[in-house]
Chain A
Amino acid sequence: MRGMTQKTYPVPGSIDDTLKLLAAANYLADRSLATVLFLALKMGRPIFLEGEAGVGKTEIAKVLASTLGRRLIRLQCYEGLDVASSVYEWNYAAQMIAIRAAEAEGEHDRKRIEHDVFSERFLIKRPLLQALEPDPAGAPVLLIDELDRSDEAFEAFLLEVLADFQVTIPELGTIKAAHPPIVVITSNRTREIHDALKRRCLYHWVGYPTAPRELEIVRAKVPGISKKLSEQVVGFVQALRKQDLFKSPGVAESLDWATALGELDAVALDPATVSDTLGVLLKYQDDIARLEGGKVKELLDQVQAELRAAE
């Protein structure tokens, strides 16, 4: 049984403990984020994380689940997401067979058949309903990913789930969670989420990390990277973020780039290597074109001068 093999860890008791907990899973967070997480766990409120793509919003839910020993239930949002694919659906095929079988047995009491057919046996549980079920390892972590991709109708539906942690199924009644799940909602801000939903959550904007923090992240996540290369990678990415780009590289891109450079056996950055691997960092042709023609070398020289000055 899953509940026997998994160990449950207590919820952190202070902001410092939360920081340590995240660091233990190699997630290096700012104190502001740790504060919000701690409050969300303590007050039992959903966390609403907004930020550019690739800054580690989804990762937070995964880290919470693994460090607290909880089950992670993920609901990826998309346009057209409806109750049937997010909460529950009836197993119609099985219901039809059950009705035919009942009739074959000579059962003609309609009420009885209806009661049998709309029982939990024929219910297919989707992520939101799964998250409300009791779990021996403790309430699960429910990740509602990229909520901005769903349409407003779904958002309105979420209000009931997030306010009372309950779901109403007309044929069965209301299902309420004994222990509310830890809810993490992420958004890339491709549209504004309604204030009514945000009001129920603790809000946090996940920004790009500072240079020292990013250096720690790169070294923790890309083991075996040399001191020099990691410094150059972080310096270059930080310098790129100061440029007027349509999409600045996120932490995920930094990590990808560091890994890619490792695969290429690069020991230090040079203009040719950077130009060849720029597609790992920048995902818009206009942005890549902007860096052509000596701009890469200029940025690289600037980064190297700064690193030398810091030594």
Chain B
Amino acid sequence: MSAMHDPQGRLAENIVYFARALRAAGIPLGPGAVLDALAAVRAAGVGGKEDFYWTLHAVLVKRHEHSVLFDQAFKIFFRKRGYLERLIAMMSPEATGAPPQAEQPMASQRVLDALFAGAEKIEREKQEIELDARLTVSDREVLEKKDFAQMTAAEIAAAKDAIKRMVLGFDNVKTRRLTPHPHGHRIDLRRTLRASMKAGGAIIDLQYRGPKTKLPPIVALLDISGSMSQYTRLFLHFLHAMTDTRKRVSTFLFGTRLTNVSRALKEKDPDEALAACSASVLDWSGGTRIATSFAVFNKQWSRRVLTQGAVVLLFTDGLERDPDARLEFEIDRLHRSCRRLVWLNPLLRFSGFEAKARGIKVMLPHVDELRPIHNLESMRELCQALSVKGGLETDPKTWLRRVA
């Protein structure tokens, strides 16, 4: 039987291509997902376009943020081919369902690139999209891709080596979980009983359990505005090394907007990770809007990443253009949502640093620690400091007193 007369075959083929397009657009899908999708479509006995859409959605989308990509890819994929209705007609004797829902906003470049890499016939649409993208970006942003290759090769190698050799502090925190422990505080009846059975049941040798410890999650907020541009590359290396050794590290970059690059930094190779980072960020070396970025973080991310006793590392020089009451409100909320807020400020390298800038003055009362971070030595100190409580020299109040 040829493929034309075999709806199942056709369907499988289409779903494979569609899954491939989704994968290229950034939705991680394994081959198992395609089989699942086929099984689901067969199980649902598709009647209309909407059902077909939600059936595939149920199986192929595993994260809320992927819904948008799926939606755009679905509309483009099945519209351009003009195909879906015929496909459904082949699948079921019923008439096709209602026409698609109201117009959606234009598809993102990511989806278009994934679907039409190498095809010329959609060139026109692609250009429209590019124009669209340009319009949405604020004029203050500098849409330049930061060239990571500006550091000399020798410097990169030296810095990378040094960062790799850094041993992170183990700031273990107690969890509510218990684990076998020689000096624990609770009797472990299960192990006691098993041990006593081994000995014939005559002796009862008590076994104990104590609290289990684990490393708290780390959330890094890294300022990538123009005034910080000399440092961002090194900091990203540092964060990559940290992501590599610890389980739960989330990294956000902010300039004029906030970008989550945690996934990009999970790449094993630091160069690939940094390249992936730079590809996803639009506002390298632009201005800073600290308050706005914090507001976005507090609203959209804090409830998702600041659970289970997270430590926040804030990399910024605190030079906000127009600090207002909003900055104080947002930093206060950030401080209240995490276990420990550590401000890493490269400006502290100057011996004559004084907390005079208004942005710095506003933020200082709301951080737990203020530390320098401008060379490998200060990074090393940070690693050690993570495991102990900050001393007097890192207490933000010391800096405020000096200005007062």
B residues within 8 Å of A by Cβ? Answer: 28, 30, 32-33, 39-40, 43-45, 47, 50-51, 54-55, 57-59, 61-64, 67, 175-178, 189-190, 192-193, 196-197, 200-202, 214, 247, 298-299, 303-305, 307-308, 329
Contact = CB atoms under 8 A, between A and B. Distances in A.
Contacts of B62: 48, 195, 198-199, 203
A151 B44 contact: no
A3 interface: no
Contacts of B55: 35, 39
27 contacts: A15-B47, A15-B51, A35-B51, A35-B54, A35-B58, A36-B54, A39-B44, A39-B55, A39-B59, A40-B58, A50-B64, A92-B189, A92-B193, A99-B196, A99-B197, A103-B202, A108-B200, A148-B307, A151-B214, A151-B308, A152-B247, A189-B303, A190-B307, A195-B62, A198-B63, A199-B30, A203-B61
A79 B308 contact: yes
Contacts of B59: 39, 202
Interface in A15-71: 15, 31-32, 35-36, 38-40, 42-43, 48, 50
Determine the main DSSP class of A at the interface with B: helix
Contacts of B190: 84, 89-90, 92
Interface residues of A, number: 47
A43 B39 contact: yes
Given A36-B54, A90-B190, A99 B201 contact: yes
Interface stretch (A109-117, A227-235, A303-311): A109-117
Contact of A151 (B39, B175, B202): B175
B58 A195 contact: no
Nearest to B32: A199
Interface in A172-201: 189-192, 195, 198-199
B366 to A, nearest CB: 16
A80 interface: yes
Contacts of B202: 103
Contact of B58 (A36, A95, A102, A190): A36
Contact of B177 (A43, A80, A205): A80
A14 interface: yes
Contacts of A84: 190
